[in-house]
Structure 1
């Protein structure tokens, strides 16, 4: 053992007979020596490690190879050419003059790219697409080009950085002051260059690009999206319209109709202040059913309109009218003298053009100061720092559409106001009023708000926020008709417990019959708040379970919804909400109503609606009187209106004509349908004195075809509840002001449902249970003469529109504390069914 411990080799004993034979073993593995087993293990481990290393290497190689997949990048841009007048031949890509100039520009672009190692390495081709008048004076041209690069995906960032070096410097808002080249090339001098990546949505592989349409703008004309108005636009399509006005003019585009898919990632229309879709010159991108100003003006004499669609949900599209206006039409600014006056951004209410700069210098008499109040303000984007588009007053920049205060004052008899817009994304702009005031008496005969507004003195402490900052309602002493809120504001006692937070701290809604920790049932009972949605009918009328995830089967009552199988459920307003609540599915039957096909009394204080926005709205014309009342479409044969519209000499059906699909009075179009009335069915219990049961049906002399411009409104079941404070809309062509003329364009306005008890107290009149009140208690928004019979509509969570009421009566129009009164439709669902079958 000592020899082994000392490291000597093992040797056989000398006294062994080496010739002696040993018995053979049956399993050689069991007698194999351990050193050999260790060798095989080592070899196996080595092979495994090698395979693992190979696998890791392949993965790493695969990752890097994926990073180096060749990709194609397209950039578009413009380059200015100085000292060369624009020729008519440059508008025609097939002309020799176009080809020659394009070739010169192409060579210079290639030379520029060759000076940058990244651009030079990956550049594949470029092509000049179009020319237009330049912005560098009479002898200047703008060339629009497209460049293509092919490179490994891992090098995209480097390419973008190289392209950025060719773009205008930061802060260059009003000219393309990019790389100043100033190099003659065969008598060609390039002034500047800009370049940007093409919008990825424009390079979808499945899009069919239609042949571009080139239009010369001289007289007013129109462009339609493909298929408009007879059919929806085609899927997976790209269509461009290039508009070119005469020299010294701008292009103006006014949309007549615009209906697209709501999602701008799918379908969209873009308008550019150029002849290529260069992002920095994008004036607007629209989709869905946009509102607001839809009129656009170019900075020069060209404009590009681009429509892109995908494969889903194709919509009607658009119609737009184009025209040209002299370039100086958009000029603004100047000196404003005198004690008062108005001024506005370029072309207001049309969207202001890009690259506008206007300065107004206001000067009033020496002993007075200047006050400016913005009546409308929508300039650029909201943001802490206003760059691009803004209004500047005495070193203060304003932008967005929500000003902290819309009144500004000077500390002298002068004030300077500057307006600026950059090269992209235009908005409606502003309109403002200025006046001189004596510093010691800024609001003669009126109350001065903290924000410098002046209001009628009688409106101080009247419970309404007339100033906009509540300064007219601070430190007030409440009179006998008012209550004191916890925040020390005074509000009308009639507003207490009306379901609306009038105080702003909800203190006017505290202690209202039920305690704060209790739930108020529709039947007037109070239960503990924690009993809501516990699966039990604790109220007795199911109202504590009406807004819960799961409905209860209850004994039928006036407050429960009756399914077709005769069983009743607790859920409030379950009909046509997109969820099946009845076991027989009857709550989702007969729901082919109340949908705008594509989505995306005159209404005092409202705004003009868009074509097709209210497809159930009908204009009723009395013989020799023109528009007289409103009505709603129930189906292809029946209309719904107010009984007071069809009394006395108007009771005969032959006195009436119905206009369906109408938008502007006196202007019928391809979507307008007129019908005579076959018969009229007023409610048999209509009271001419109280206007109770103010409802009537009209049957058309022939059916109409339902479409996106003529569509039925949904009727609410008797169990539906429209709580106080719920948003509702009124529509009609009635009087613009009380006693005034009717509206030409269909008007709309948002109001809120008013608590029934509150309404009775305010009107001090016989407001019955068959009536519904709605309005804005501040006043200024209401239905009026000519709106009678028209719908008061609400929208359920699934987007389906129901008629909650019919315009019936009111005390004046749009007066404070005088809401409008409507026929409550939930009381007449069975009557309509019995008389018309609808």
Structure 2
């Protein structure tokens, strides 16, 4: 058979298999550590159900395994003497495809790390940003671990990132649970599909957003957890630096090409008004360029403090804000700036609430529950 014809047939077969297998195989539950699941509202599981479907009154509950004395159980449809029969669960009967220690869960806790971020800027605390994703160029894994940029986990199958981080890549994988580049206790999955906003403008980085579909779902809990997504239209403008944090492995300065840094970093930044950001960039870029590049309300600006900023190669990394107590919500994705850490000059971020409906639409499109043409989005990989 002609090799070209064979290649075409193989491609058609692979595409057909993906339509049958790749898109529709969506696990209806997540595998999570029990502490990361809110499926049950009960703190404990009271083991007082009787074999005939009734519930023992408290006075008649069996006092322990093997307790069969008179009066230890209520009358009813019981084998033998009418007392409850105590059975030990047979090993192997509760089968699951989740790894040992993980349970099936349909309501995963989001945005709540097991360790809270440090109030100090600099190196992040281990496990404080369990949603942070490390994007890798599979064609160049031997150079700086293939680092291609940052992203953020939104569920067991999907990672949100900036479109400009992936448009020059042909094969991508995502590592999660990464704290430093030793990649100890991490999970890596190949990217099966990549979807980009149809109105993405590569010149001005407008609608600069993409969703990556992982070929295999990640297990959740500990150092790998999804971030909470915001409600559509929510405003984070005015959020103080004490509430909002950007994290990533980008360069330590504009002149120093040291990304990815060995250890994940963090910095607290305030989210400023659109007018403050416009005024600043008018001074830096001029009014014509500022009008061309800034895209409100689809973008927000944060930072403006000397040496406290995201930097080159942080693109796609998350800006999160504390809602209440220990839970964080995704406010932005790192897009662009002018230099890094200059006083009075702000970093520009994707305004995630403006894309909340788009994110939901694309995820449903990938899972074949939504018409992809309505998103709008196109498949890049």
| Residue number among 267, 273, 292 corresponding to 1:749 in the alignment | 267
Corresponding residue for 1:720? 234
Report the alpha carbon displacement of residue 816 of structure 1 after superposing the two structures with TM.
2.0
**1:771 equivalenced with 2:299 (yes/no):** yes
**1:593 equivalenced with 2:120 (yes/no):** no
**1:674 equivalenced with 2:194 (yes/no):** no
Deviations 1:642-689 (A, max 9, x none): 011112x32x3xx21211001111x122x2011111010011111112
Is the strand fraction higher in 1 or 2? 1
Corresponding residue for 2:151? 631
* Structure 2 gap segments, 5+ residues each: 1-32, 36-105, 283-289, 368-381
Corresponding residue for 2:347? 820
Report the alpha carbon displacement of residue 779 of structure 1 after superposing the two structures with TM.
1.8
Report the alpha carbon displacement of residue 812 of structure 1 after superposing the two structures with TM.
1.0
| 8 Å contact kept, 1:646–1:682 | no
| 8 Å contact kept, 2:110–2:225 | yes
Distance verdict in 2 for CA 1:630–1:599, change over 3 Å:
closer
Aligned equivalents of 1:804, 1:692: Cα separation in 2: 17
Corresponding residue for 1:615? 130
**1:759 equivalenced with 2:277 (yes/no):** yes
Report the alpha carbon displacement of residue 597 of structure 1 after superposing the two structures with TM.
3.1
| 8 Å contact kept, 2:272–2:302 | yes
**1:690 equivalenced with 2:214 (yes/no):** no
Corresponding residue for 2:332? 805
Deviations 1:508-557 (A, max 9, x none): xxxxxxxxxxxxxxxxxxxxxxxxxxxxxxxxxxxxxxxxxxxxxxxxxx
| 8 Å contact kept, 2:114–2:222 | yes
Corresponding residue for 1:227? none
| 8 Å contact kept, 1:627–1:786 | no
Distance verdict in 2 for CA 1:815–1:701, change over 3 Å:
same
TM-score under structure 2 length normalisation: 0.60
Deviations 1:415-434 (A, max 9, x none): xxxxxxxxxxxxxxxxxxxx
| 8 Å contact kept, 2:114–2:128 | no
Report the alpha carbon displacement of residue 829 of structure 1 after superposing the two structures with TM.
0.4
Report the alpha carbon displacement of residue 635 of structure 1 after superposing the two structures with TM.
0.7
Corresponding residue for 1:645? 165
| Residue number among 340, 347, 357 corresponding to 1:830 in the alignment | 357
Aligned equivalents of 1:673, 1:691: Cα separation in 2: 30
Corresponding residue for 2:251? 735
Corresponding residue for 2:316? 789
Deviations 1:341-400 (A, max 9, x none): xxxxxxxxxxxxxxxxxxxxxxxxxxxxxxxxxxxxxxxxxxxxxxxxxxxxxxxxxxxx
| 8 Å contact kept, 2:237–2:300 | no
1:205-224 map, 5 Å? none
Aligned equivalents of 1:632, 1:734: Cα separation in 2: 15
Aligned equivalents of 1:793, 1:613: Cα separation in 2: 12
Report the alpha carbon displacement of residue 719 of structure 1 after superposing the two structures with TM.
3.3
Aligned equivalents of 1:821, 1:591: Cα separation in 2: 30
Q: May I ask how many residue pairs the two structures share in their alignment?
A: 242
Aligned equivalents of 2:107, 2:306: Cα separation in 1: 38
Aligned structure 1 segments of 4 or more residues deviating by more than 6 angstroms = none
Of 620-629 and 656-665, the range deviating more from structure 2: 620-629
Aligned equivalents of 2:107, 2:205: Cα separation in 1: 31
Deviations 1:762-798 (A, max 9, x none): 11213112000000x2321111112100100001024
Deviations 1:199-245 (A, max 9, x none): xxxxxxxxxxxxxxxxxxxxxxxxxxxxxxx999xxxxxxxxxxxxx
Deviations 1:51-72 (A, max 9, x none): xxxxxxxxxxxxxxxxxxxxxx
| 8 Å contact kept, 1:676–1:700 | yes
Corresponding residue for 1:658? 174
Task: Report the secondary structure of 1:823's partner residue.
Answer: strand
Report the alpha carbon displacement of residue 739 of structure 1 after superposing the two structures with TM.
2.8
| 8 Å contact kept, 2:115–2:126 | no
1:20-99 map, 5 Å? none
Aligned equivalents of 1:804, 1:754: Cα separation in 2: 13
Aligned equivalents of 2:318, 2:305: Cα separation in 1: 22
Distance verdict in 2 for CA 1:818–1:744, change over 3 Å:
same
1:196-207 map, 5 Å? none
Report the alpha carbon displacement of residue 726 of structure 1 after superposing the two structures with TM.
2.3
Report the alpha carbon displacement of residue 737 of structure 1 after superposing the two structures with TM.
1.1
Task: Report the secondary structure of 2:188's partner residue.
Answer: strand
Task: Report the secondary structure of 2:348's partner residue.
Answer: strand
* Structure 1 gap segments, 5+ residues each: 1-229, 233-588
Deviations 1:734-782 (A, max 9, x none): 001113112110000111001111101111213112000000x232111
Aligned equivalents of 2:280, 2:135: Cα separation in 1: 31
| 8 Å contact kept, 2:116–2:326 | no
Task: Report the secondary structure of 1:783's partner residue.
Answer: coil
